[in-house]
Structure 1
Amino acid sequence: MLGIKEIEEIIPHRHPFLLIDYIEDFKPGEFAVGYKCVTFREDFFKGHFPNQPVMPGVLIVEALAQVGAVAILSKKEFKGKTAFFGGINKFRFKKMVKPGDKLRLETKIISSKGPIGIGSAVATVDGEIVAKGELTFMVG
């Protein structure tokens, strides 16, 4: 398991934009599974939406990308680098993520060639899919 300090040693994201609380499991270059414990204190809930707080879909995608970045950037040859978005494909949102939810984030690297690759990403809450799709990344 990786906590915040260990995650910060792998990826460059920091509060308030670090959207994962811990990594439960990972294998460098292959996959990572992380969690975001969604609380009512998240800044984005002030405006999204005041009377019906919902985690923005783009932030769920970003959280999945950060988990994927842990998988990719934990490879020795990518240490100290940054993973950038190259594309967001086939994403679907199935359910809303609300305060109190524990968001499970899993990204598997399904193909890679050099610094470019694709990850299959799935976000769930209580075993139910809330979002899934593919993320293209470029390490630079």
Structure 2
Amino acid sequence: MLEHGAIRGRIPHAHPMLHVDRVLEMEPHDLIVTSKAITGSETCYAQLGPGVGQPALRYPPSLLIESWGQGGALLWLERERAQGRTDGNAPILATLRDITFHRGVYPGDTLRHTVRIDQYTAAGVIMSGETRCEGDLVAEVGYALAVLRPSGELF
């Protein structure tokens, strides 16, 4: 299990784009389970005025997938470190397919992401997985391709 402070040093994402709070489980090179608590203080809610209804507080699906993908980044970069490759590359989620959203999530919910790395390739990784909230299926990702790029090229 990794807490938030340890995660901050393991992937290049930083506030406000770090969307993983805790690693709950990790099977090296194969599977990771992470959590993300949704709060009313998320940056995505900053422009909302008082008295908005529940639909306006739905956590954006793009951020939900970003959070899921960051779990995959943690798993992949752990493998890279174990193999002595710490050359400052950043993982980029390049392609997603077969995504199904089953229900929305809102402030007060805690997401539980499961990411499997199905295949390591010369160019990247192929991943799949799901997100749950209180046991309910929130989203499924059938296929995701991620690649590594030099961090200096990204910013």
Give the TM-score of the pair, scaled to structure 1. 0.91
Letter in 1 for 2:44: F
Question: Unaligned stretches of 5+ in structure 1?
Answer: none
Q: Output aligned runs, 1:10-25, within 5 Å.
A: 10-25=10-25
Count matched residues.
140
Following superposition, the deviation at residue 73 of structure 1 comes to 0.5
Q: 1:125 maps to what in 2?
A: 133
Bigger Rg over Cα: 2
User: In the TM superposition, what is the alpha-carbon distance from 1:93 to its structure 2 partner?
Assistant: 0.5
Please give the alpha-carbon distance, in whole angstroms, between the structure 2 residues aligned to 1:47 and 1:27.
Answer: 39
1:48: how far off? 7.1
CA distances 1:47-66 after superposition (whole Å, capped 9, x unpaired): 57942210000001000100
Could you tell me which amino acid in structure 2 is paired with residue 126 of structure 1?
E
In the other structure, the counterpart of 2:31 is 31
Residue 82 of structure 1 is matched in structure 2 by 90
- Give runs of aligned pairs for residues 44-123 of structure 1, distance below 5 A: 44-47=44-47, 50-52=52-54, 53-75=57-79, 76=81, 77=83, 78-79=85-86, 80-123=88-131
The code of the aligned residue for 1:54 comes to R
Displacement of 1:132 in angstroms is 0.9
Counterparts in 2 of 1:128 and 1:45: CA distance versus 1, 3 Å: same
TM-score by length of 2: 0.83
1: distance between equivalents of 2:144 and 2:8? Answer: 21
Runs of 4+ in 1 over 4 A off after TM superposition: none
Moved more, 79-88 or 55-64: 79-88
Tell me the CA shift for residue 138 of structure 1: 0.6
- Contact kept in structure 2, 1:104 and 1:124, CA below 8 Å: yes
1:121–1:135 CA contact under 8 A, matched in 2: no
**Residues 1:41 and 2:41 aligned together:** yes
